[in-house]
Amino acid sequence: MNSQSPKSSKRTPYLSTETETGRFINRELSWLEFNKRVLDQALDDQLPILERAKFLAITSSNLDEFMMVRVGSLKLQREQNSPLVDPSGRTVDEQLDAVSIACNALVHQQTLLYLSTLETSLSKAGIRRSIPKTDGAISNHALTEKLDEIEAVLSPQVVPLRGNFPLLQGLSLHLCVRLLRNKTENQVQTENEDKVDEYAIIPIGKSLDRIVSIPTESGHNYVLIEDLIQANISRFFPGREILECVPFRITRNADVELREDSAADLMVGMEEVLESRRRSRVIRLEYQCGTSSTILNFLSERMGLTENDLYSIDGPLDLTYLFGLHGLQGFDSLRDPPWPAQKPPNLDPLQSMFANISKRDHLLVHPYESFDSVVRLIEEASTDQEVLAIKQVLYRTSKRSPIVTALKKAARNGKYVSVVVELKARFDEARNIEWAREMERAGVQVIYGIRGLKTHAKLCIIVRREPQGIIRYVHFGTGNYNEVTANLYSDVSLLTCNSELGSEATSFFNAISGASQLKHLQQLAAAPDSLRPRLLSLIEHETTRSKQGQKGHIIAKLNALVDSEIIEALYSASQAGVKVQLNVRGVCCLKPGVPGMSDNISVVSIVDRFLEHARIFYFAHGATPQIYISSADWMPRNLDRRVELLIPIHDSDCVDKLTTTLKCFFKDETNSWIMRSDGSYKRVGHDKNSYRAQLRLYETAKQAVLAARHSRYGQYEPHLPKTDQ
C-alpha cells in the first residue's frame, strides 16, 4: 500500500547545469534555470516569510505552464516522429529526458524548501497548517460544518476497470479511492487482491476554497481541503471497506492551436480549441509520496502515462495555494512594505490628459509610476466631445477591465471605436471572447485578430478634433492593458501626440484591421514585416562602426532571447569589438563570454519584487544614441509569427529618463545574476544594503513627486478677480 515510487531512485536534488558544446543554449533548460532563480528568492532568508511563500507559489505556477506548453509541444513532436534537432543539437527525446531530470530536481527542491523551512517559519509566525487524523473525531464545530458542505457539494465517481475513464480537469486536485469490491455469494475469492479492488475518484474542483480556516484566538490555523476529505473519507463511502485514499493532480497538454485555414468562424474555432484543451492528452501525473504501486499503475495505465510523466510529491500537491496565504489579512509584518505607485509629476491632474500630452511626450516607468494615467486617458476620451475615434489593440485585460468599460461607453457616446481583440492569447481566450461579445453589443467594431498571426502590439490611438486640425494622441506600451498586472510587472509607456508617430500608428492599425498592405514605415517597425530587418540593421550598424575603429555599444533589456539569426548577429558584433550588454529576464539561448565568439557580450538577469517585462533597446549610433521600446522579445514567434511594434523614443527628456532606467539594471548588486557560457547563473553578491535596481527606480519616482511638489510650493499664484472684459 505504501510502496515507493519506481521513479524516485533516479531523482537528483539538484538542477543539472550540463555544459553545452555548441553555439546555443537549449531553450527548455534555459527556462528551467530561470525558474530556479525564482526559487532562489523563496530560499532567501532576508525576505519576509510570506514573500518567500509567494515566490514558491510562483515557481509552482511557472512549472505548470511550462509543462502544459513546452513539454506538451515536445510530446506532440515525439508523437509525430519529428526529426527536428534544436539549435543546441538535441533531438526531441534528448530534450524530454533532460527536461524530466531537471523538472524532478526542481520539484524536489520546492518540496524540500516547503517542508524543511517555510512551513516551520510560517507556523512560528502564527500561520499554522494542521493535518487531521484519519477518521478522528472532529471537535471543532467549524470543521464539522465545512465537512457537511463538502459532502453536499462533491460527488465520488466509480471508475470501471475497463471502458471509459472519466474526463478529469487539468491542474485540479482529485482523490483516488481504492475500495474492497463488494462480493456476492456467487463470487469466488481470488488470490490476487487487485481483482477485488474497486476504484472511485472524487474531483475536488475549484468551487470550494482549498484553504479551510480553523477558528483560533491568535494567528491563523488552517487545513487543506484534500487533507480534510482524506481524513474523513469514510463519510463518502458508508458501509465500504476503504483500502487507500490519495490525492493526485493531472496536467493536460495546452499546446493546442487553431487550424485557421479550416476555421470559418474564428470565435467558434477558439471555443473549439478551449474544448480540445479540456480533453487533450494528460502529460503529467503528480501524486502523494507513499501512494501504492496498485493505484499508481491503475492511474498511469488508464491515462497512458510513462515513467517520465510521474511526479511523486512528498508534501502538499500544487503549492500555488500559497498565494492565498500571502493575501491573509493581519500579517503585514510578514510581507514586503508597500510601494504604492506614484502619480507622474509631469501629468497635471487638474488638466485633461490631452492638455498634458499636447505640451510634451511623457514616458512612464511602471509600476513605480501609476498605470492610472493610461486608464485616465481612455476614460477621458470616452466622454470628450471633441474625440472622434478610438483605435486600440487588446491582448490581455483584467477581469473587470475599466478600459473595456470606457471603450463601451465611448461607443455608446457616438465615438467610432475600433478594437483588435486577440482571441488567440493563450489562457486568456475565454475572457477575450467574452469581452469581444460585450463590446460588439455596445457598438464597438471588433476585429478578432489576424489570420495566421497573433496581434501582440500594445497600442491605443485617440483621434481628436482641435482648432489646428485633427490630432492623434497615442499610447505605446511594452505591457498589456491590464491595470492589475500593471502593479506587478515592470513596463514602459509612451504617451505622445507626435504627428509622425501618430500617422504611422494609424497606418499600422488600419492595415491590420483592414487586411491591407502596410505602408513603408520610417519611424516604427512592425513584425512580421520590418521589425527583424530593422533590428539586424541596427546591430549591423554598430558592427560596422566598430570595424572602422569607432565605439560600438548595444544595450538590450528583454524577457527572452531565442532567435538564432539575432544571436548570430550579436556574436558578429562582439567579434568586431562591439560592447553588448544584455539584461534577459528568462530564457537566453546565447552563450556569453566564449573566447573568439562572444568575448564582449555579458548577460545578466534580475529576479526581484516585480516581474521584469519591459523591452528596451539602446544603440550607441555614434554621437546620437537611438533608443527604442517594444512589445516584442527576440524570439522567432515574436519576429515572424506575431504582430509587434518597435517604437523610437525622440523626446530628449524621455530619452534621458529611459537611458537612465535601462542602465539601472546593470548596476544591481542585490537580485542580479550573471550568466555563464554553459547556461548556468551566478548571483552577483547579495547584500540588502547594496544597489537594488527596482528599489532605486521606486525611490527615483518618489523623489520626482517630492521635487515637483516643492517646486509648486515655491511659486505664488494669486487668485485674480474675474472680469467681463
Catalytic residues: 456
In one-letter notation, the amino acid at residue 39 is L
Cell of 323: 498565494
Rounded Cα–Cα distance for residues 508 and 722 (Å): 47
Q: Does residue 252 contact residue 170 with C-beta atoms inside 8 Å?
A: yes
Rounded Cα–Cα distance for residues 292 and 286 (Å): 14
Torsion of CA 252, 86, 423, 259, to 10 degrees: -80
Q: Which residue has the cell 519591459?
A: 614
Q: Checking DSSP bridges between strand 416-421 and strand 127-129, what pairing results, if any?
A: unpaired
Q: Does residue 563 contact residue 584 with C-beta atoms inside 8 Å?
A: no
Q: Does residue 180 contact residue 240 with C-beta atoms inside 8 Å?
A: yes
Selection from 281, 304, 309, 285 nearest residue 76 by Cα = 281
**Secondary element (H or E) of residue 492:** strand 489-496
In one-letter notation, the amino acid at residue 430 is A
- Residue 297 burial (CB count, 10 A): 12
Q: Does residue 632 contact residue 615 with C-beta atoms inside 8 Å?
A: yes
Rounded Cα–Cα distance for residues 497 and 362 (Å): 10
Selection from 308, 287, 284, 309 nearest residue 296 by Cα = 287
Q: Does residue 563 contact residue 570 with C-beta atoms inside 8 Å?
A: no
In one-letter notation, the amino acid at residue 511 is A
Compute the chain's Rg from CA coordinates.
28
The answer to whether the Cα torsion of 465, 467, 468, 473 is positive or negative is negative
Cell of 326: 500571502
Q: What are phi and psi of 447, to 5 degrees?
A: -110, 130
Rounded Cα–Cα distance for residues 275 and 271 (Å): 6
Rounded Cα–Cα distance for residues 8 and 515 (Å): 54
Selection from 630, 634, 263, 277 nearest residue 452 by Cα = 263
List Cα–Cα distances, 691 to 165, 367, 548, 648, 666, in angstroms: 56, 19, 36, 29, 10
Q: Does residue 474 contact residue 502 with C-beta atoms inside 8 Å?
A: yes
Buried b (16+ CB within 10 A) or exposed e, 354-391: bebbeeebbbbbbbbbbbbbbbbbbbbbbebeebebbb
Cell of 266: 474564428
Q: Does residue 35 contact residue 56 with C-beta atoms inside 8 Å?
A: no
The answer to whether the Cα torsion of 712, 715, 721, 723 is positive or negative is negative
Residue 399: is it exposed, middle or buried by C-beta count within 10 angstroms (0-12/13-18/19+)?
exposed
